[in-house]
């Protein structure tokens, strides 16, 4: 089997390398890929959409349908992760909760599940006995707010600088996942619970499709943001930029929620009890 796979891989590679003899040279401005539609995008992006970042204008306006269905694909991925893994009526083998008394480092095991100590001397921990690490927790606590602000900046500034909904959403999700890793999964879920995540992931897709439908109601085509000028106090070109911003916010919300859903479900095998 391994030899067969090696032969297949080498043969495929040889054919593909042979095919590159017809390719244009790397970095050739006259390559066919650079001549068909991209000159139009580069030349007219600012004039037609008012957005200097061409990647954003192509993503959200010229290829808006594509991005909408990509967002739907991501939503479906989160949904299928949830449906595959989530366990609701769990029979926990390891019952009870563990608390660590911070000044002494003693771990207390409560056999009942409903113990809830709200004291700053006690800290809820996973049963797999994660050792206490002051450096990791402090760094996490300091970094997370800045990561979130950076994520919001990346979403909001996607029109003018590298960034946009996908990247910003992933950065926001990374901040919550960092919280789940440095503290524990329960802390992360208590900040943003499962229902909120489900609603947010659907809300992101809804914002995207909703802005498209709003354009329909304003007698335009689907995702024709220029028609939003009728309800916004700006001209049609600025309205396009604002429509794109709205769409990017929708994408960012959906991506953030889905990434967190995937992480939580895989890390805790659907129990939402203890993570990594």
Partner 1 sequence: MEALLKEIVGKYNYWLYIVLMMIGLYAMIAKNNLIKKLVGMNIFQTAIILFYISIGYKKGGTLPIIIMPHHHHEIPPEAIDVSKYINPLPHVLMLTAIVVSVATFGVALAIALKIYKEYNTLEEDEIRMRIRER
- Residues lying near partner 1 in the complex (CB under 8 A) are found at 1-2, 4-6, 8-10, 12-13, 16-17, 20-21, 23, 25-29, 31, 33-34, 37-39, 41-47, 50, 52-55, 58-59, 63, 66-67, 70, 73-74, 77-78, 80-81, 84-85, 160-162, 164, 166-167, 170, 255, 258-259, 262-263, 265-266, 269
Q: Which is nearer to partner 1, 21 or 104 (CB)?
A: 21
Beta bridge partners of residue 111, listed in sequence order: none
- The b-or-e profile of 156-190 (16+ CB within 10 A means b, else e) is bbbbeeebbbbbbbbbbbbbbbbbbbbbbbbebbe
Q: Which is nearer to partner 1, 46 or 192 (CB)?
A: 46
Q: List strands edge to edge, sheet with 122-125.
A: 106-110, 97-101, 122-125
Beta bridge partners of residue 98, listed in sequence order: 109, 125
Nearest distance, CB of residue 202 and partner 1, angstroms: 15
Nearest distance, CB of residue 70 and partner 1, angstroms: 4
105: left (phi over 0), alpha (psi -120 to 50) or beta: left
Nearest distance, CB of residue 180 and partner 1, angstroms: 15
Q: Which is nearer to partner 1, 16 or 142 (CB)?
A: 16
What's 127's DSSP letter?
A: T
Nearest distance, CB of residue 167 and partner 1, angstroms: 8
Q: Which is nearer to partner 1, 117 or 170 (CB)?
A: 170
227: helix, strand or coil: helix
Distance CA 46, CA 159 (A): 11
Q: Which is nearer to partner 1, 70 or 147 (CB)?
A: 70
Q: Which is nearer to partner 1, 58 or 197 (CB)?
A: 58
Nearest distance, CB of residue 241 and partner 1, angstroms: 10
Longest dimension (CA), the chain: 71
Distance CA 85, CA 264 (A): 10
Nearest distance, CB of residue 51 and partner 1, angstroms: 9
Record the tokens describing residue 28, joined without a space.
């050739």
């Amino acid at each position: 089997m391994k030899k067969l796979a090696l032969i297949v891989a080498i043969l495929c590679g040889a054919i593909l390398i042979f095919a590159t003899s017809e390719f244009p040279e790397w970095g050739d401005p006259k390559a066919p890929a650079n001549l068909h539609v991209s000159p139009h995008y580069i030349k007219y992006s600012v004039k037609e959409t008012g957005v200097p970042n061409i990647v954003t204008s192509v993503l959200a306006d010229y290829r808006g349908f594509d991005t909408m269905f990509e967002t739907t694909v991501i939503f479906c991925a989160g949904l299928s992760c949830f449906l595959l893994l989530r366990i609701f009526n769990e029979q926990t083998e390891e019952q009870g909760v563990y608390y660590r008394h911070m000044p002494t480092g003693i771990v207390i095991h409560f056999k009942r599940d409903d113990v809830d100590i709200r004291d700053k001397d006690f800290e809820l921990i996973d049963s797999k006995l994660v050792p206490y690490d002051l450096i990791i927790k402090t760094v996490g606590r300091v970094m997370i707010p800045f990561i979130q602000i950076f994520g919001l900046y990346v979403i909001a500034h996607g029109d003018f600088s590298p960034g946009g909904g996908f990247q910003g959403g992933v950065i926001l999700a990374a901040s919550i996942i960092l919280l789940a890793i440095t503290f524990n999964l329960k802390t992360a879920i208590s900040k943003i619970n499962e229902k909120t995540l489900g609603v947010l992931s659907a809300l992101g897709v809804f914002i995207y499709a909703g802005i498209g439908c709003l354009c329909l109601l304003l007698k335009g085509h689907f995702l024709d943001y220029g028609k939003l000028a009728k309800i916004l106090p700006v001209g049609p070109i600025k309205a396009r930029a604002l429509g794109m911003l709205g769409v990017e916010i929708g994408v960012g919300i959906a991506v953030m929620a889905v990434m967190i859903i995937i992480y939580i479900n895989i890390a805790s095998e659907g129990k939402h009890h203890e993570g990594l």
